[in-house]
Amino acid sequence: MKTIAFLLDTDFEQVEYVDVKNQLEDKGYKTVLITTHDEKTLQGLNHIDKADTFSADLFAKDAQADDYDALALPGGTMNADALRFDKAAQKLVKQFNQAGKPIAAICHAPWIFVDTGIAKGKTLTAYKTLQIDLENAGATFVDKAMQQDGNLITSRTPDDIADFVAAIDKALS
């Protein structure tokens, strides 16, 4: 059984975690929740309103890309902003990238590709407000439900989750 690691801080867009996780589990994948937060209890958000809380399985500093088949990065502005500057998150994302394993980032999550240098030369999509950041980092921005460039799978919003999940599944098949 293939395992997909979800990397989150706290205050993430809940639907981009729960719906993606549930759809991937329905396809037979195992999922693990990894966090950079200082505690394992994480707050989901419905945009800016508090939603459910979730318990992480382990901390990012203790995770290795070798243990997983793919990495999923849900968005949410605060979550994505915290992840992009976190050294353990950057290290994990770089490990997945160097191994050529799928990295799937939705909404604001592709921000970490700017801070890790991974965006340069890639064609990516994301929430529209990231366009300038991605372009300044050397990426080509496209406004599409899903964009795949090599091992990177990117998507814009919760409306695109079906295309996002299909691309992750295809990349792992």
Pick from 104, 79, 114, 100: nearest CA to 5: 104
Confidence grade of residue 147 (pLDDT, cut at 50, 70, 90): very high
Mean pLDDT of 56-60: 98
How does pLDDT run across 22-44, given as a tens digit for each residue?
999 999 999 999 999 999 999 99
Average pLDDT, the chain: 98
Active-site residue set = 107-108
What is the per-residue pLDDT for 104?
98
Its domain, for residue 130, covers 3-172
Q: Which CA distances in Å does 168 have to 70, 83, 103?
A: 8, 21, 8
Whether the CA torsion 141, 83, 33, 17 is positive or negative: it is negative
Is residue 144 very low, low, confident or very high in pLDDT (cuts 50, 70, 90)?
very high
Question: What is the rounded average pLDDT of the residues 82-104?
Answer: 98
Reduced to 3 states (helix: H, G, I; strand: E, B; else coil), residue 36 is: coil
The model's confidence at residue 89, banded by pLDDT at 50, 70 and 90, is very high
pLDDT band for position 125 (50/70/90)? very high
The per-residue pLDDT for range 96-116, each reduced to its tens digit, is 999 999 999 999 999 999 999
Average pLDDT over residues 118-134: 98
Domain with residue 53: its CATH number is: 3.40.50.880
How is residue 77 written in tokens?
Answer: 């502005």
Domain tally, the chain: 1
pLDDT of 99: 98
Nearest to 78 by CA among 118, 119, 48, 34: 48
